Amino acid sequence: MKKLLCLSASAFSIAAASASAGGMEVGRYNPSFMFEEGNFAELSITNTTPKVTDDKFSPNGSMLGQMTNTSMSVKMKINDRLSFGLQHFDAARIDLSYAGNGGPFTKSADPYKTQVAVTEDAVKKDGATQTAIGNYLNANGLSQTQANINIAIAKDAATQKAISDYYAGLSTSQIQGILLTKYTSAANIPLSKEPFVDLSFKSTVLALTYKVNDRVDIFGGIKYSVGSATGNVLIDPHGDLAASEASGTAPVVGVSYSIPDIALRVTATYQGKTETSHSTTRTYDGVKSELANTKAALPESFTLDFQSGIATDTLLFGSIHRAKWGDAQIFFNGSSKPKSTWTDSTSYSLGVGRKLNESWSVSAS
């Protein structure tokens, strides 16, 4: 009975943590498999369908795509006190695309040309914006270059206000990108895919568990993570980007306390921060160039997992997971300003498992 319910608890705890994690996290190390009797293996598959929309770029569909994430665990007993464990899981993912969701982007059109069409249409319909831009450029003899457009926005309050009022909600850098495409020739506008980001990190934890006594276990090991990403970015920098595969390591340590007679177990797990540096290329207008390395990270985290029997054939389980995402951002092309804006997160899960018979158990969390 305990074995069936513990298996159910560990699998559903992983799923619950994945659904409510911070940053780009989709899975985490869960050491519960290390406390199963004898040799042990398990497979967990989680399918998530996010629904994330906004009223400007993705009003009719989710900008985040459906994801299927897996976790595979194997434990081998060395002797009565020492066990070896290996867990491989999807740690982080971003599957982002605005195309075909009711905004200005489609899968067939080039995003830069789409921006030009949207901007020209908007400017034609808005006389104040058109006049402010034209008057400033003409009066100051500015040529149609990125530098001069940036200067015009930065130094002319009337132009800046007119543009900002019309494109409410867009940042200055986004406005600069739109104006750049309008005021440069068609020959400088690259043919490219729709704007998207496809990022993935997979982690493998190798750990040893030592049974101090009937109630206390300690464990420790190393987490090895590998990640890569591709995407089409409109600004800072613009073009088709490819961040090559890179890896990093971090320590994993923890302690577990149990009372077997009532199926009670409380486990505290610490994972260090993993930092990676990815060689990055940009393809723009058919020309491939090298950028400064992309910096990424998986955060330092602390997790408390617990379970306890609360009635015959019934188990209560849950977790508290704290991750320092504020210190694990993504940086492009040597910039000191991160591309991501994540904050520290705390996620919770709570569930109950019930043994139905010798072959089946169910749980909800």
Q: pLDDT tens, 18-60?
A: 444 789 999 999 999 999 999 999 999 999 898 999 887 788 8
Could you count the other beta carbons within 10 Å of the beta carbon of residue 92? 25
Q: What are phi and psi of 280, to 5 degrees?
A: -130, 135
Residue 292: which of 283, 301, 281, 284 has the closest Cα? 281
Return the structure tokens found at 313.
Answer: 């054939």
Q: For residue 146, what pLDDT is reported?
A: 47
Residue 137: which of 121, 150, 124 has the closest Cα? 150
Model pTM score: 0.72
Q: Which domains does the chain have, with CATH numbers?
A: 2-101+195-364 (2.40.160.60), 111-188 (no CATH)
- Predicted confidence (pLDDT) at residue 191 exceeds the cutoff of 50: no
pLDDT above 90: percentage of residues in the chain: 53
Report CA-CA distances (Å) from 184 to 4, 114, 138, 140, 322. Answer: 65, 14, 15, 18, 47
- Predicted confidence (pLDDT) at residue 17 exceeds the cutoff of 70: no
Question: In this predicted model, what pLDDT tens digit does every residue of 147-177 receive, in sequence order?
Answer: 455 555 555 566 666 666 655 566 666 666 6
Least reliable range by pLDDT among 192-196, 231-235, 301-305, 352-356 = 192-196
Question: In this predicted model, what pLDDT tens digit does every residue of 264-318 receive, in sequence order?
Answer: 999 999 999 999 999 999 887 678 889 999 999 999 999 999 999 999 889 999 9
Distance in angstroms (rounded) separating the CA atoms of residues 339 and 199: 14
Mean pLDDT for 99-112 is 64
Name the residue with higher pLDDT: 117 or 10: 117
- Predicted confidence (pLDDT) at residue 236 exceeds the cutoff of 50: yes
| Three-state SS annotation for 186-208 | HHHCCCCCCCEEEEEEEEEEEEE
How many residues does the structure list for the chain?
365
Distance in angstroms (rounded) separating the CA atoms of residues 232 and 111: 9
Distance in angstroms (rounded) separating the CA atoms of residues 211 and 217: 4
Q: For residue 5, what pLDDT is reported?
A: 35
Mean pLDDT of the chain: 80
Per-residue pLDDT band for 11 (boundaries 50, 70, 90) equals very low
Per-residue pLDDT band for 233 (boundaries 50, 70, 90) equals confident
Q: For residue 187, what pLDDT is reported?
A: 35
